[in-house]
Amino acid sequence: MTVKSTARARKKAAPGVPDTLRATGTDAQPELVQLLTPEGERVEHKDFPLTTTPEELRALYRDLVLVRRFDAEATALQRQGELGLWASLLGQEAAQVGSGRAMRTGDYAFPTYREHGVAWCRDVDPLNLLGMFRGVNHGGWDPNEKNFHLYTIVIGAQTLHATGYAMGISKDGADDAVIAYFGDGASSQGDVNEAFTFASVYNSPVVFFCQNNQWAISEPTTTQTKIPLYRRASGFGFPGVRVDGNDVLACLAVTRWALDHARSGNGPVLIEAFTYRMGAHTTSDDPTRYRMAEETEAWKAKDPIIRLKALLEKEGLADEEFFASIDAESEQLGLRVREGVRSMPDPDPTLIFDHVYAEPHALVDEERAEYLEYAASFEAGENL
């Protein structure tokens, strides 16, 4: 027996490790919370009960369809040269809409750059999202008005912002909670793990919502972790749960529970929404170079919109007229987004100096003056 084979044998024979903990990656995925099967069958879960009205189910379907239509239009606009870049959420609509609709008015969300569905739930106009990707504004909405922070490009940094905000909520004695969104790739960042530590030690009312779409750009989750992501929470001293990220009802129920858990003084929760990124990481990416088409095809059968539509049809909660009206509304949204983006005016270049600091700053004033002098020189023909 070789040295390597002996080492493998010893590893397999290691005592005291239950078989259920040996299985990692895709070999034996743990059970996840599911309330709506891919076939559109409603099921119950003893720990996460959910009661919905027909109106609420139809509203969730509308959210999913309109969010996907907006996202598709944004992707098309980027391909036409109207946007500099776009990070599609295709396939992740249920995770975002379900968690977004679980929030109360006073709850605060800290997104990455892909949470277009959460932005929709927080009443952020889609055109405001696209202004940043067109390069005409720095975000376009008031975070304190929407309780939805500006998009964060730095991977994982928003989890620290969310934890600090949650610590402030605790000190203020407010009855609110915070939710921080990040992806499976960001879970490997130091910022995320530091946020876990602070949130746990300070018992902060924050829910960490990880959308595990299984691809950190071109790296699969299995290259980053030996255990399912939600199990990491136990190492920091708070609960973790894995939910079917393509099930809008399960995402709603689990996130609602987690936010209530956090705001009740019980500390943080980690939710791993097990989903799939159906498109590219961003419009600068080509996913065909690193993943198999068969994998993507298999996930099409788990589509969040198809399964909710199947439930509505089976239960007789919506008719063809309803679905046609949603389709028509989605086309109107696409038209508004397309025309709105193309008519966005170029910004005044001096706006870049206006919000560097909360108060006037001598150095910024000096830099603004230098820029104005430089720009004026072109009008005078000095730099031609």
Catalytic residue (choose from 8, 22, 290, 374): 290
Coil, strand or helix at 242: strand
Name the helix (H) or strand (E) containing 269: strand 269-274
**Interacting residues of 250 by C-beta distance below 8 A, sequence separation 6+:** 32, 33, 34, 35, 36, 45, 48, 98, 243, 244
Q: Is 139 helix (H, G, I), strand (E, B) or coil?
A: coil
Q: Is the distance from CB of 155 to CB of 190 less than 8 angstroms?
A: no
Catalytic residue among 149, 263, 281, 307: 281
DSSP-derived 3-state class of residue 116: helix
Strands annotated E in 298-376: none
Long-range (24+ apart) CB contacts under 8 A made by 222-228 are: 222/24, 222/25, 222/26, 224/184, 224/185, 224/187, 224/188, 225/24, 225/187, 225/188, 226/24, 226/25, 227/21, 227/24, 228/24, 228/29, 228/30, 228/272
342 tagged catalytic: no
| Adjacent-strand bridge partners of 270 | 208, 240
Q: Which of 58, 134, 149, 277 is catalytic?
A: 277
At what angle are helices 54-79 and 248-261 packed, to 10 degrees? Answer: 100
Cα 111–114–120 angle (5° rounding)?
75
Strands 219-220 and 215-216: antiparallel
Residue 230 designated active-site: no
Rounded CA gap, 42 and 44, in Å? 7
3-state SS assignment for residue 159: helix
CA distance 46 to 66: 31
134 is catalytic: no
For residue 302, CA distances in Å to 49, 136, 275, 355 come to 22, 37, 9, 44
Catalytic positions, written as ranges: 277, 281, 290
